[in-house]
């Protein structure tokens, strides 16, 4: 067809007398292709109309619309939505999906029709073991009971506040590690991963990943890093049934099994350690595993709470806590480096509030109002999960006049919503002041700003993550002046592997402001 169009425009446009006859001859030669394409188009359009699905782009056999997505799916989905609308239907391999790119439709799905969209997408057989049976993906009575238990015992504000000392201790270790570094250049991307993993490990297991007094690598860090990478690869293979042969004939399945075994052995080791120690302390500082094990053996609990449930919850906390929190810190500092005015204003505030006390404590955070605006603006521009975590339609329902079939995957493009120029003035600019005096927050009630989602499936641990972000960012700004290494520019290129990170590590020059001690 490309040759045919070239032929037509190159000859007919030049006014050659025989061009029309030659064009008709070429059309006859290619008529079989035109007929087939026309029939396919009519079938696709009539099928979409019969099923009353939302509008969407052309689909290819087997692939559907996957060929139209690039690795930065949040961006390519926005480009498609600009053509086909804020409620768009795609076929992702074998999985039907709707893509939501407006706050009104997000509110309808995550609030009005929340119950109908409260399940996670069905897991393929090869992933059921990895997710400990996938019981917490399905919305049912068991999920409701486990979620209620976690909200009361794990993610409550009382529990978040009980780990204040843990967060302050780990931030102290981070600051000392940066001070004692043999080089003034600091890889903050790595440092943020180490500190968030250590905090999460102390909250879950009651102990650090790394040795006392160190904020650096340990083998346990790599377990979760490897699994996140494999999950991204697994998702692509799951969407396309035609790639099942690749999954069977490659080393992918073996890698997944080995990673699962390493993670499961870590969980089993910690469960056995806790069981042998008794862990009878009822204070607010008990780690999560101790709390979960107490309920595991409680005969009056009222529902089945298995060992696999406990491990699935620990897995969720590590995946949903460490990587997302380090991503927010990484993007926050990157934006401050890019915007010296904002950096100065944030540092002036924290240094003015804390004075010569020597470090920022959590009791100081309520006074750091501009710092909170900086974090909000970071979440708006760089939400850790730009497409949120997909949901699945449990029952046929009507959205914006369109029929959504059971089993349809629902993807909310929070990244697109939070950069919509109809909702935000100068949406691509980093302007923390836009949140000043505005009653908008990230807790799931304001659908133009939903970095952690909304409804029944909102991120349950967001307050744990924000507490880490606030104390870490405040101390990093208080203790050091930061700048790019000589001759370099800030690279803001994104890399999406479940969580949105910078493609290149954040390496900055640190100049201590306050002498040690």
Residues contributing to the annotated binding site: 459
- Give the distance, in angstroms, between the CA of residue 203 and the centroid of all CA atoms in the same chain: 21
Cβ atoms of residues 501 and 327 within 8 Å: yes
Residues 6+ apart with CB under 8 A from 362: 164, 167, 168, 467, 470, 471
- What's the 3-state SS for 387-415? CCCCEECCCCEEECCEEECCCCEEEECHH
Cβ atoms of residues 449 and 441 within 8 Å: yes
Backbone angles phi, psi at 434, to 5 degrees: -65, -20
Strands 494-497 and 499-502: antiparallel
495's enclosing H/E stretch is strand 494-497
Nearest in space to 415 (alpha carbons), one of 430, 406, 428: 428
> What is the rounded distance in angstroms from the CA atom of residue 500 to the CA atom of residue 409?
21
Backbone angles phi, psi at 99, to 5 degrees: -115, 125
Residues 6+ apart with CB under 8 A from 182: none
Radius of gyration of the CA atoms of the chain, in A: 26
Residue 145 carries which DSSP code? H
Count CB atoms within 10 A of the CB of residue 16. 11
Task: Return the half-sphere exposure (C-beta side, CA atoms, 13 A cut-off) of residue 490.
Answer: 17
Residues 6+ apart with CB under 8 A from 435: 373, 376, 377
> What is the rounded distance in angstroms from the CA atom of residue 463 to the CA atom of residue 162?
12
**DSSP per residue over 414-446, as a string?**
HHHHTT-TTTSSSTTS--GGGGTT----SSSS-
Count CB atoms within 10 A of the CB of residue 336. 24
DSSP E strands: which ranges in 165-222? 185-187
> What is the rounded distance in angstroms from the CA atom of residue 407 to the CA atom of residue 411?
13
Nearest in space to 192 (alpha carbons), one of 360, 325, 318, 337: 325
Q: Which residues make up each annotated binding site for heme?
A: 459
**Residue holding tokens 């949903």?**
320
Residue 337 burial (10 A CB sphere; 0-12, 13-18, 19+): middle
Strand partners, 391: 410
> Quick one: tokens of 169?
């201790």
């Amino acid at each position: 067809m490309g040759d045919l169009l070239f032929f037509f425009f190159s000859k007919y446009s030049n006014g050659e007398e025989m061009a029309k006859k030659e064009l008709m001859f070429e059309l006859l030669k290619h008529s079989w292709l035109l007929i087939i394409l026309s029939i396919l188009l009519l079938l696709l359009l009539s099928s979409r109309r019969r099923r009353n699905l939302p509008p969407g782009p052309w689909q290819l056999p087997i692939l559907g619309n996957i060929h139209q997505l690039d690795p930065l799916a949040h961006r390519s989905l926005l480009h498609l939505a600009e053509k086909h609308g804020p409620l768009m239907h795609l076929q992702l391999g074998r999985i039907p999906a709707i893509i939501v790119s407006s706050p009104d439709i997000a509110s309808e799905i995550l609030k009005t029709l929340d119950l109908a969209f409260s399940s996670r997408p069905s897991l393929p057989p090869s992933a059921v073991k990895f997710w400990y049976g996938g019981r917490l993906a399905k919305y049912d009575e068991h999920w409701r009971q486990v979620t209620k238990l976690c909200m009361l015992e794990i993610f409550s504000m009382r529990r978040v506040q009980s780990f204040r000392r843990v967060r302050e201790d780990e931030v102290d270790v981070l600051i000392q590690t940066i001070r004692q570094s043999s080089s003034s250049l600091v890889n903050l991307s790595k440092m943020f991963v180490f500190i968030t993993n250590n905090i999460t490990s102390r909250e879950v297991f009651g102990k650090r990943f790394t040795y006392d007094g160190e904020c650096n690598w340990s083998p346990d860090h790599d377990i979760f890093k490897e699994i996140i990478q494999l999950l991204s690869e697994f998702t692509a293979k799951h969407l396309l049934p035609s790639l099942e042969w690749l999954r069977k004939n490659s080393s992918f399945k073996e890698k997944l099994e080995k990673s699962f075994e390493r993670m499961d052995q870590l969980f089993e080791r910690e469960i056995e350690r806790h069981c042998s120690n008794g862990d009878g302390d009822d204070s607010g500082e008990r780690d999560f595993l101790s709390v979960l094990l107490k309920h595991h053996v409680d005969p009056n609990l009222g529902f089945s709470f298995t060992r696999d449930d406990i491990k699935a919850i620990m897995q969720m906390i590590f995946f949903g806590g460490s990587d997302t929190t380090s991503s927010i810190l990484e993007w926050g500092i990157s934006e401050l480096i890019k915007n010296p005015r904002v950096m100065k204003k944030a540092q002036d505030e924290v240094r003015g509030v804390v004075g010569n006390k020597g470090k920022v404590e959590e009791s100081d955070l309520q006074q750091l109002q501009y710092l909170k605006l900086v974090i909000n603006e970071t979440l708006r521009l760089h939400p850790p999960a730009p497409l949120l975590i997909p949901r699945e339609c449990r029952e046929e329902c009507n959205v914006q006049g369109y029929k959504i079939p059971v089993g349809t995957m629902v993807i909310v493009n929070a990244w697109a919503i939070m950069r919509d120029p109809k909702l935000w003035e100068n949406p691509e600019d980093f302007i923390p002041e836009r949140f000043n005096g505005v009653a908008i927050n990230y807790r799931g009630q304001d659908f133009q700003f939903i970095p952690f989602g909304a409804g029944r499936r909102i991120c349950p641990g967001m307050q744990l993550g924000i507490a880490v972000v606030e104390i870490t960012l405040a101390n990093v700004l208080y203790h050091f002046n930061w700048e790019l290494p000589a001759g370099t520019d800030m690279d803001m290129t994104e890399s999406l592997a479940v969580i949105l990170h910078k493609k290149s590590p954040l390496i900055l020059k640190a100049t201590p402001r306050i002498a040690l001690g």
